[in-house]
Amino acid sequence: MRKINFSAGPSTLPLELLKEAQEEFCDYKGLGYSIMEISHRTKIFEEVHFGAMQKAKELYGLGEEYEVLFLQGGASLQFAMIPMNLTMGGVCEYANTGVWTKKAIKEAQILGLDVRIVASSEEEKFSYIPKVEFSDRADYAYICSNNTIYGTQYREYPKTKTPLIVDASSDFFSRKVDFSDIALFYGGVQKNAGISGLSCLFIRKDMLERSRGKNIPSMLKYAIHAENNSLFNTPATFAIYMFNLEMQWLLNLGGLDAIHQKNMQKANLLYETIDKSESFYKGYAKKVDRSLMNISFNIAKSELENVFVKEAEEAGMIGLKGHRILGGIRASIYNAITLEQVKILCDFMKEFRHKYA
């Protein structure tokens, strides 16, 4: 029996895509070889590679003003690549909403840049999204759109004249986004758009000019990767293949508006189960900033949390143990998790409450 995987990432994949990949694993489209075995320079792989880029832009409704980059090193490498490529010798501004922004801030500081934290929710253990006003003259303004550990999410991005950088790793391809102020939108794809090993970046082409002429190693320079269509070195071919399948899956569902509606249904059902539990369960994030992707909560009797995880596993649900920093319980309900699967979790939660209340 297949488990329901509520892990924060790498996360569950649509079963139909796993079956499609399985069918093509040894014999890609009847050609007699696997997509993993062929050169990234062949026409066959280029169809996958460039098809994935085109579909990704189509989902977000982006035109020629943005370049799509496929890079390795995970989203974490971008914490350093962003300041290396985009700083102009001025101020770099960050809104600190948790572990991942703290890591990004640290990497910019290692480079000796003028880093300013203009908003933070650290004083309340990152349980909310702080109001932020970026200055008009910073080199860039940086946010993380969704925080996997604490379960907080920007409903709307800050408006700013400064180029906005968004780490969207954990709500990538889960909803439509207003790109008006966005200069760079990026994330690892292993939560909502494929498997680990691949990062996808949407970078406004004027930002590429900032990296040209800089003394940056070639593999870390955005302009080099853009000039080479993300084929400067051997790319993560199988991860791109899976990403391409997932992009088509999203298009077949009706695009990002359609998946957003499904994601809201799932989150509303789970939050309702928490809120109507007579304080047996308690959500971590402030209600106004609750994430649609990662629902972090506690059980009033904390000694029951390990019991909850164990019994959930016995009931066929995995990945519910909270992050080691926060503890508690966390259900990550990314795109591939269905409403029916969330209903199974909610029914289990109700039964667990009646059993131990």
> What is the rounded distance in angstroms from the CA atom of residue 192 to the CA atom of residue 184?
18
The model's confidence at residue 5, banded by pLDDT at 50, 70 and 90, is very high
pLDDT digits (tens, 9 = 90+) for 226-285: 999 999 999 999 999 999 999 999 999 999 999 999 999 999 999 999 999 999 999 999
Please check if 178 is assigned to a binding site.
no
Backbone angles phi, psi at 74, to 5 degrees: 70, 175
169-204 burial, b if ≥16 CB within 10 A, otherwise e? bbbbbbbebebebbbbbbbbbbbbbbbbbbbbbbbb
Whether 100 is catalytic is yes
Which domains are present in the chain? 15-253 (3.40.640.10), 255-356 (3.90.1150.10)
> What is the rounded distance in angstroms from the CA atom of residue 168 to the CA atom of residue 335?
14
Q: What is the mean pLDDT of residues 326-344?
A: 98
What's residue 48's pLDDT? 98
Whether 191 is catalytic is yes
Please check if 41 is assigned to a binding site.
yes
Q: Give the pairing of strands 152-153 and 146-147.
A: antiparallel
Whether 249 is catalytic is no
User: Dihedral sign, CA of 159, 160, 163, 167?
Assistant: negative
Please check if 75 is assigned to a binding site.
yes
Please check if 233 is assigned to a binding site.
yes
Q: What is the mean pLDDT of residues 197-216?
A: 95
**DSSP code for 323:** P
Please check if 234 is assigned to a binding site.
yes
Backbone angles phi, psi at 195, to 5 degrees: -115, 170
What's residue 342's pLDDT? 98
> What is the rounded distance in angstroms from the CA atom of residue 178 to the CA atom of residue 156?
8
Q: What is the mean pLDDT of residues 314-340?
A: 97
Task: Say which of 55, 139, 167, 221 is annotated catalytic.
Answer: 167
Q: Write the single-letter amino acid at 355.
A: K
Residue 140 reports pLDDT greater than 90: yes
DSSP H/E element including 304: none
What would the two tokens of residue 128 be?
């909310």
Backbone angles phi, psi at 29, to 5 degrees: 50, 35
What's residue 1's pLDDT? 85
- Report in angstroms the alpha-carbon separations of 269 from 7, 50, 237, 333: 18, 38, 37, 11
What's residue 213's pLDDT? 83
pLDDT digits (tens, 9 = 90+) for 82-119: 999 999 999 999 999 999 999 999 999 999 999 999 99
Cβ(8)–Cβ(335) below 8 Å: no
Cβ(297)–Cβ(283) below 8 Å: yes
Cβ(345)–Cβ(6) below 8 Å: yes
Task: Say which of 55, 139, 171, 191 is annotated catalytic.
Answer: 191
Q: Write the single-letter amino acid at 290.
A: R
pLDDT digits (tens, 9 = 90+) for 11-53: 999 999 999 999 999 999 999 999 999 999 999 999 999 999 9
Q: Which residues contact 268 (CB under 8 A, 6 or more apart)?
A: none
Cβ(75)–Cβ(69) below 8 Å: no
Q: What is the mean pLDDT of residues 139-156?
A: 98
- DSSP string covering 227-245, please? HTTT-SS---HHHHHHHHH
